Structure 1
């Protein structure tokens, strides 16, 4: 009766080791969860087991997605940070990288593999577009050819095509600047315009080879022109420069010519003032110019025709108020016309109208030789012997109330009407007291005459 019971116990004892202690071979063949470390079999230690790590009760357990190798996330973060530290990183890449750094390992890897190449290509296209917007025609043309190309095309343009196109645009801009200079000579202008129609090679050839040669030729042409048309100082300097080298000619045009022209301009100013009929507007402007720079004197000479025209209108206005009937009528007609009409009236019409008034008043008409328009002092400046000055219209001698100084062209002797004669003549024509202020005109006359005499003496000595 006890045998079966003993047999059961023995059988349990025999089977227990096999159930409770599996063999080491079976344990080694069992699969491990991905991403978890197995026990250190060499040391024989037993790994710590945390509740829930077996996938039960909320633990991660075995995941269906393989995890990144250990340390990959740190390497990705370091790589993205390196991209951000690069000053050449574009705004699109920079924004996406900063966003990726806020994410997990998967987002870091997605940025490096997908977002980074795409955003870098977009940034390169933006950069090329910016160069095109602020570049010249060569940059715009070269950039347009690669804008829709690959990343390699864009990088090649930025490293090679862009510098070459910028150089071409710089040469083109330099030539355009030369052509815009009003002092550029005819030869340089023709060659420069031809070069602008070509490419980079033609532009560079003009600047390096043709420009220096053509500029030297143009300089000599300009000096030759100054020899024929300049004042005394300019002619002397130009004559010396023409005997020198191309460099000496260029230096004289840059330095010697402005100084010589300034000297000749002052002489021209005093010569203009030496005319006894110079009016108040001209005198005031001349005084300001003499107190200023050479540029002010040159501007005065350019304004001289307008200043004289203004003075002429003042004279005609005076005649309209105080002249006889014929003078008033003729002066009124002239005032309705141009400056040329005013000048013609003072040079011719005034004498005719005055003669008509004198005849009506019973005064004998002047002899033809004594007509105011034919007296030396009443001739427009430029018709008197004062050098190559600009023509001017002058005040008739009767407007001064004293007569005209000078006989012929030498400026010697006095031809006047006398006090008694002046009284009768001016009463008939109504022009008494119409002369300019004597002080300023006399001073200008003396200064101008002295300078002219000095100039003539220098000419005689040379």
Structure 2
């Protein structure tokens, strides 16, 4: 019983080295560092970390290239870095980016100042003379502040260029432009609305003083209202009221009994049209047609007048429209007075030759000069007979003796209207055509 047990112990002793030694040999072939269990991953993690940083750097460079604001110098350096190693990319981001931004910023400031307003040009010049930080500050803030100032000044200059700008606004605007940016902004925000309201009321008062009844009434209502009422009158109300006054003015012209046919016809046509037609008649047609009618009337007076009237009328006809109007208002009466004075001047008496003693029957009286008397009708007479020692007396004369020479001139144009009759009208009509034609050829 004891032998088999001993044999088992011996067998275990013999087999133990065989089982243990291969395990120890395997451990000797694969040594492990102290304190580490499991596989080694340290070197692989470092490699992965380096690869991730490079990718982030390259992504940042690509983002810079995608920005439209990136300048040419930065763009060129970024493209070169992307074509290089991870170190090239990192060097670009840490060094080259800021170095190349300075010339790019300088170029951009120069481009902004080109064609800019005075304030923007001044700010850009100051930035160009400064540091890289000054350039960056101008691009981020300064340019916008200066641009706003230029825009404000441009608005003020536009206000001054407007011919409708009143004196109050004009004076305040000029003062603001001579000041600072704050002065300009204050003018636009405060002074301009206030001064414009005052100028509008002054302008309304001027229109009111020169307008007709309808304009005066509408202007008075606006003047008693708000600033908005005044503006509304200036933009709309005055024209509506003036159109009403214009029609009244045309009706007054037509009611004048001395108005000529040309003016009358044009006035009727205007009344049948628009407010613009009525205004055109008053400003253009009325003066023109009145001038033509005046020349026609002058021609009628000239055809029926005496010598002085004809001469004065001829001089006026060869002159301007003002000369014609002056003749009708004054000259014709002065010339007519001259003709009347000439007509009323006593006729010269013939000089009687010295009487000579005569014998025999009576002698015939000397014949009177025909130029001294004008006789119309029938004259009968007989020379007395008998013995006389003096002159023979003319016989009895019967008939009618007409007025002295110049009587036609003395009558002038009394009663001569636009519808003269008889031969005078025919002559006047022809002369009128000549008068108007002469006037228009002179004006051309």
Range into which the TM-score falls when normalised by the shorter chain: 0.5 to 0.7
Alignment partner, residue 213 of structure 1: 194
Alignment partner, residue 382 of structure 1: none
Unaligned runs of 5+ in 2: 1-38, 41-49, 344-404, 434-444
Alignment partner, residue 423 of structure 1: 422
2:216 counterpart (235, 241, 256): 235
Per-residue deviation at 1:431? Answer: 0.7
Q: Deviations over 1:236-271 (max 9, x none)?
A: 122223333444334433443332223223333443
Matched, 1:161 2:134: no
Alignment partner, residue 325 of structure 2: 343
* Whole-angstrom CA distance in 2 between matches of 1:423 and 1:296: 38
State the secondary structure of the residue aligned to 1:431. Answer: helix
The answer to whether the Cα contact below 8 Å between 1:330 and 1:350 also exists between their aligned partners in 2 is yes
Per-residue deviation at 1:81? Answer: 1.3
* Whole-angstrom CA distance in 2 between matches of 1:100 and 1:317: 100
TM-score, length-scaled by structure 2: 0.56
Matched, 1:191 2:172: yes
Alignment partner, residue 149 of structure 1: 130
Q: Deviations over 1:382-406 (max 9, x none)?
A: xxxxxxxxxxxxxxx65x234xxxx
Per-residue deviation at 1:363? Answer: 4.8
Indicate the larger mover: 171-180 or 319-328. 319-328
The answer to whether the Cα contact below 8 Å between 2:263 and 2:289 also exists between their aligned partners in 1 is yes
2:105 counterpart (121, 124, 136): 124
The answer to whether the Cα contact below 8 Å between 1:312 and 1:342 also exists between their aligned partners in 2 is no
C-alpha distance 318-87 of structure 1, shift in aligned 2 (>3 A): farther
C-alpha distance 81-215 of structure 1, shift in aligned 2 (>3 A): same
* Whole-angstrom CA distance in 1 between matches of 2:174 and 2:284: 34
C-alpha distance 174-338 of structure 1, shift in aligned 2 (>3 A): farther
Alignment partner, residue 408 of structure 2: 364
Alignment partner, residue 201 of structure 1: 182
The answer to whether the Cα contact below 8 Å between 1:227 and 1:234 also exists between their aligned partners in 2 is yes
Alignment partner, residue 291 of structure 1: 273
The answer to whether the Cα contact below 8 Å between 2:160 and 2:173 also exists between their aligned partners in 1 is yes
The answer to whether the Cα contact below 8 Å between 2:300 and 2:429 also exists between their aligned partners in 1 is no
C-alpha distance 199-278 of structure 1, shift in aligned 2 (>3 A): farther
The answer to whether the Cα contact below 8 Å between 1:187 and 1:218 also exists between their aligned partners in 2 is yes
C-alpha distance 320-115 of structure 1, shift in aligned 2 (>3 A): farther
The answer to whether the Cα contact below 8 Å between 2:106 and 2:128 also exists between their aligned partners in 1 is yes
Q: Deviations over 1:10-41 (max 9, x none)?
A: xxxxxxxxxxxxxxxxxxxxxxxxxxxxxxxx
Indicate the larger mover: 111-120 or 133-142. 111-120
Instruction: Compare CA radii of gyration and give the structure with the larger one.
Output: 2
The answer to whether the Cα contact below 8 Å between 2:169 and 2:195 also exists between their aligned partners in 1 is yes
Q: How many matched pairs?
A: 322
Alignment partner, residue 258 of structure 1: 239
Q: Deviations over 1:337-364 (max 9, x none)?
A: 4443343345444666788899899552
Alignment partner, residue 432 of structure 1: 429
Indicate the larger mover: 91-100 or 231-240. 91-100
* Whole-angstrom CA distance in 2 between matches of 1:173 and 1:282: 52
Alignment partner, residue 182 of structure 1: 163
Q: Deviations over 1:46-87 (max 9, x none)?
A: xxxxxxxxxxxxxxxxxxxxxxx7677655542321112223
C-alpha distance 286-246 of structure 1, shift in aligned 2 (>3 A): same
C-alpha distance 299-425 of structure 1, shift in aligned 2 (>3 A): closer
Unaligned runs of 5+ in 1: 1-41, 44-68, 373-396, 403-421, 437-462
State the secondary structure of the residue aligned to 1:401. Answer: coil
Per-residue deviation at 1:232? Answer: 1.0
Matched, 1:277 2:236: no
C-alpha distance 267-125 of structure 1, shift in aligned 2 (>3 A): farther
* Whole-angstrom CA distance in 2 between matches of 1:425 and 1:267: 36
* Whole-angstrom CA distance in 2 between matches of 1:364 and 1:323: 8
